[in-house]
Structure 1
Amino acid sequence: MKLWITLLTLLVTTGLIAQPFKPVEPVQLSDYQVYPINGLDQIEPSGLTLKNDTLYTVGDKHRAIFRLDIQDDEAWLYKEMTLASERDLGVSVLDLEGITTVNGDFVLVSEAHHRLIHVDNLGQLRWLPAQGNDLYRSAFAAGLLQLHNAGLEGVTYLGEQRFLVAAERQPRGLITLQFSEDLTEIVSQHNLIMLNSRQYLHGRHPDMTGLYVHRKQVYALQRNAYVIHELIAVGNRQYQEGRAWSYEDIVRDPKYAYSDMQYGHAEGLAVDDEFFYLVLDNNRIPNAKNPNDKRPLLIVAKRPVLHGGD
């Protein structure tokens, strides 16, 4: 026990664990629309981003990037591009879990390999970094990525060859990556364990499943708490949770709830001036009221303006 306390103290003082914060009650999102997602059976959306005001998503079992269009009361998937074979990267599975955009191209997260993937406008793939997997080795040594199927989950591009990547849970964390100008090498990496969390977890593990930066403010999706919250940068290596918004009342509404609500389902987050956008990966679990409806959902919620500003 003394050894663990000493190690924990060392991690906190060296910046490897986020500093404590005082939770504030999240604001309930009350102005929203919920759209069933059509267009592809067995799609399990696992990431979300905006490019030129258009929503894009990936599925962890599909080798494609999909455009999401809202039409009347439903959302529709359209294949934006088919990705080149994962065998071109020397692997047999990718397990895509996040998506962001960089200079007009897409960058995806492979949870299976703890790496980022650059996708050009023809769907060709290349690993980031190009050689080796320093991202995983450094994060694992710092205490992240310790469990199978609880690895890299979300990514957002901060600009100037910098990425912020979410480590999902047990422990959840943030990985800041600075790449070379051509994105082939990691120049620096900082790993941050975030043990602290809001107290709305319903007995579940704290997690992070989505990241998005809008107007230089980073937002995170904490699926198991049904919360979107700000990540406030404190220096170059630290983040702490800021204002928060709850979508729990939306996903627990009898019209939209799934038959199994043991775990949260939201996996992708995007943000613009007016809205939060969430995609739910329901793992083919049916709607509680309609066992024949196994569609995932897109939530579009009006962003409240607090304290007279954004």
Structure 2
Amino acid sequence: QHVGQSLIPSLLTDFVWNLLMKLSKTNHKTASEAASMLKLTLEYHADKVTMVSKIVDTIYKKLRGNSTHIMNHAMLRVVTLLTRTSPKKVIFQLMDYPVPADNTLILMWHAAGSEVSVAPHVLKTFLLILKGKPGETQDSSTGGRRLSLDATNMMPVAASQALCTLLPLSSYRKAVAQFFPQLLMALMLQVFYSSELRLTTKDKPFFARDALRILLKCSGLQEVDTALQNMDCWSQFSEVLFHHRRVHFVAKALSNYRFPQFPETLHYLYKLSVEGPRRSEDSVITAIFLTEVSSIDCAQLGSHSL
């Protein structure tokens, strides 16, 4: 703790880096002492650490190798502590690997999302990533966007898979309720984008759809998920030509079940419509949802909740 107070950020980062390297030493005592010092240092001074992305990347590579139990536990704890002070840097780095994620990456997701206090910041970062369109890059010659699977902008797909893992965690219950409208619309759009992507990529998992279903279940809307399942809606989401119709089904099902998140969702939809969507397809999906959700009889909703 005292060492962390006296060192400037660059020197503290070097100190943390050296301790991190010692975790892979075969000497059990050396590795244990390094783990203890690393944990103590980051508990109090993680905010002074620079090169967070590089540290997270190194941890990923080392965990994929032949790591010991001490090394595994200590490195995952480092991810947790760095997420406290630098959630955006940690999450963006964790999204920058091939999809679907391997078991090592999923372990790191759990480590990053293990604390209630950071859950809102983690979800905000995911929502930022979900504004992107998979496979879309900036065309340097025209300044416009173009679809290119070779460019591998797959962060939104990785974020959708991560949400499948993190949304059910008890540490995320409060944050999921807080960001339900934003997550709902972000995932609806990602389902559409992923449907487009599936036309040119075979046998890809449909993480956006799965995350949307998990969101409904985690938000007490199991009946909505079941109703859509009975309508065979989920399996048909991959057919991009019928996607707008499926969007209507989801909005209709939510309206029929008088979902408790209605006021916040309606407010968010109005906000989206006023601000203007980033893409033309976004505006269509937002309009479908807004039209259906705004038709709910608010008085009836109030009496139902009573």
TM surpasses 0.5: no
Whichever of the two has the greater Rg, that structure is 2
- Structure holding more strand per residue: 1
The alignment's TM-score, normalised by the length of structure 2, stands at: 0.21
Q: Which structure ranks higher in relative contact order (CA pairs < 8 Å, sequence separation ≥ 6)?
A: 1
